[in-house]
């Protein structure tokens, strides 16, 4: 037969930092450091059942009931904060009078760690909660790495897609992107105007001041296009000095003519590069979706191109809306 084992407070506190010693009269006479950390008010000398209650089984409400459940797994919760819960075991104390209640946070350990700022030093070295905390922390770090990697890959994917759809010099859409936008607008029967714009005297700028000046002019023209159009209009550079402009919802001829005149006026303003004045203008040819029973990309690009050549034939720096007459020029 095994003999009696008595433990001093320090030993109990090391093995069971959540222990509570309950006297025969139901008062808390001592408790582990971690248990005391949970309660900002003084609990030594308080009635056990005024600090904790047994949530399961529900019939336990006094010290005598506890004695009847020695060795059985019980569920406790704080009276003042029912979110703080424990599992526990009750055994008779060595003095034969009081009871020793050993508590554990169980599955709510993560909540307890967050709510009470607990560390590994607040648990018994043999408590599996420590292992679980390490696993949760490791999982959290791993998930953070995964999320960061996913975000980085998504950003790189978006950057690659944007680069693939963007003109490297001006930042406008390129021909591939333009074709995608055109397909979407036509397939979804969105009314729009398509304008083909070509810069006049651009070759003279390149020949006189060099390609750096030409690039500067193209970048400035792109800026003007952005300034004079709406955010949802589609602006594309499709050649050296050729641009295609899509104006969604714009099928009013007068408004289109006003917009074209404004673009011509702005682009005719001298563009200074390294002290040199680069003088250009632009010619535009346009067409509207409401000119067709069933518009196609090929037809609209062809007709806008025909209208552009009509503008060139008129002396440049003007706008022509496609018509049968323009097509014959």
Q: What is the pLDDT of residues 143-167, one digit of tens each?
A: 677 677 677 766 665 555 455 678 9
Q: Specify whether 181 is located in the same domain as 232.
A: yes
CATH classification at residue 252: 3.30.70.270
Count up the domains in the chain and report the number. Answer: 3
Structure tokens at 38: 């949970």
Q: Specify whether 138 is located in the same domain as 187.
A: no
Q: Specify whether 19 is located in the same domain as 110.
A: yes
Structure tokens at 31: 């408790």
Give the catalytic positions in this structure.
Answer: 241
**Residue 2: inside a domain:** no
Q: Specify whether 136 is located in the same domain as 202.
A: no
Q: Specify whether 204 is located in the same domain as 301.
A: yes
Classify residue 97 by its DSSP letter.
S
**Residue 256: inside a domain:** yes
Rounded to a whole number of angstroms, the distance between the first and last alpha carbons of the chain is 118
**Residue 219: inside a domain:** yes
**Beta-bridge partner residues of 62:** none
Classify residue 17 by its DSSP letter.
T
Q: Specify whether 69 is located in the same domain as 189.
A: no
Contact 14, 124 (CB under 8 A): yes
Q: Specify whether 216 is located in the same domain as 104.
A: no
Q: Specify whether 284 is located in the same domain as 269.
A: yes
Q: Specify whether 182 is located in the same domain as 120.
A: no
pLDDT given at position 11: 77
Residue 31 lies in domain? 9-126
**Residue 243: inside a domain:** yes
Q: Specify whether 132 is located in the same domain as 187.
A: no
**Residue 4: inside a domain:** no
Work out whether strand 276-278 and strand 234-237 pair parallel, antiparallel, or are unpaired.
unpaired
Q: Specify whether 108 is located in the same domain as 212.
A: no
**Residue 1: inside a domain:** no
Q: Specify whether 131 is located in the same domain as 204.
A: no
Contact 228, 282 (CB under 8 A): no
pTM higher than 0.75? no
CA angle 318, 322, 323 (to 5 degrees): 125
**Dihedral, CA of residue 146, residue 152, residue 153 and residue 159, to nearest 10:** 170
For residue 20, give the nearest of 82, 112, 88 by alpha carbon.
Answer: 88
Residues of the chain with pLDDT under 70: 1-5, 40, 128-143, 146, 149, 153-164, 324-329
**Residue 3: inside a domain:** no
Please tell me the distance from the alpha carbon of residue 55 to that of residue 124, in angstroms, as a whole number: 24
């Amino acid at each position: 037969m095994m003999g009696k084992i008595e433990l001093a407070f320090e030993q109990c506190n090391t093995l069971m930092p959540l222990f509570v010693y309950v006297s025969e009269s139901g008062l808390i006479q001592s408790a582990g450091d971690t248990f005391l950390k949970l309660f900002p008010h003084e609990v030594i000398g308080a009635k056990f059942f005024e600090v904790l209650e047994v949530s399961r089984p529900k019939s336990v409400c006094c010290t005598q009931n506890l004695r009847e459940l020695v060795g059985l797994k019980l569920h406790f919760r704080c009276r003042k904060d029912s979110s703080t819960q424990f599992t526990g075991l009750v055994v008779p104390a060595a003095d034969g009078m009081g009871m020793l209640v050993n508590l554990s946070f169980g599955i709510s350990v993560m909540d307890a760690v967050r709510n009470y700022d607990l560390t590994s030093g607040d648990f018994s070295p043999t408590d599996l909660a420590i292992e679980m905390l390490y696993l949760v922390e490791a999982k959290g770090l791993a998930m953070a790495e995964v999320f960061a990697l996913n975000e980085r890959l998504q950003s790189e994917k978006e950057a690659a897609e944007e680069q693939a759809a963007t003109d490297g010099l001006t930042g406008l859409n390129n021909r591939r992107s333009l074709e995608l936008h055109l397909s979407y607008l036509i397939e979804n029967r969105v009314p729009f105007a398509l304008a083909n714009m070509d810069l006049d005297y651009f070759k003279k700028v390149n020949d006189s001041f060099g390609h750096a000046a030409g690039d500067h002019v193209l970048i400035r023209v792109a800026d003007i296009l952005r300034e004079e159009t709406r955010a949802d209009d589609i602006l594309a550079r499709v050649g050296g000095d050729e641009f295609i402009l899509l104006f969604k919802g714009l099928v009013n001829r007068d408004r289109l003519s006003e917009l074209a005149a404004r673009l011509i006026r702005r682009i005719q303003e001298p563009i200074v590069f390294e002290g040199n004045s680069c003088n250009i203008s632009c010619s535009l040819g346009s067409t509207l979706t409401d000119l067709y029973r069933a518009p196609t990309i090929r037809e609209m690009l062809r007709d806008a191109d025909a209208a552009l050549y009509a503008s060139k034939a008129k002396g440049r720096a003007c706008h022509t809306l496609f018509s049968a007459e323009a097509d014959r020029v």
